[in-house]
Amino acid sequence: MAEITPPYPDPDSLLAEARAVAAHAHAPYSRWHVGAAAVFAEAPGVVHRGANVENGSFGLTICAERAAICAGVAAGHRRLGWIALTCRDADGRPVDAIVPCGACLQVIAEFGHPDTVILIDGGGTFRLADFLPRPFVY
């Protein structure tokens, strides 16, 4: 099992990045503005952000977590260490009951490891293994 090694990102700063990008979400259907901020081992000082982009064909919606991870991958990174997640309703109020969906958890597993940190705004700090103890591994 891989360990997360210093330097660790500041959790409050990472959540602030997620909150900032949530304002850019395209959420005309759910009206839930989700933001994510990811940090990869290859560049621990760089934060990759993503917001949810909804689509009228709901299966084509892109979750914030996957958007942030894809931004990191597009920058050449492959080893996800941390990801922060926040959600706001249409009035900007925090939505507390959020966790990554199954598709996002599997993508986190693709680029992370069981100890990848998942910070949930208002919900706590978790490891990938807390949500997905047996990911699909090819």
**Catalytic, out of 3, 54, 65, 110:** 65
**What would the DSSP string read from start to end of 12-69?**
HHHHHHHHHHHTT-B-TTT--EEEEEEEETT-TT--EEEE-B--SSGGG-B-HHHHHH
Asked about 65 being catalytic, the answer comes back as yes
In 3D, which of 31, 9, 37 has the Cα closest to residue 92?
A: 31
Catalytic residue positions?
Answer: 65
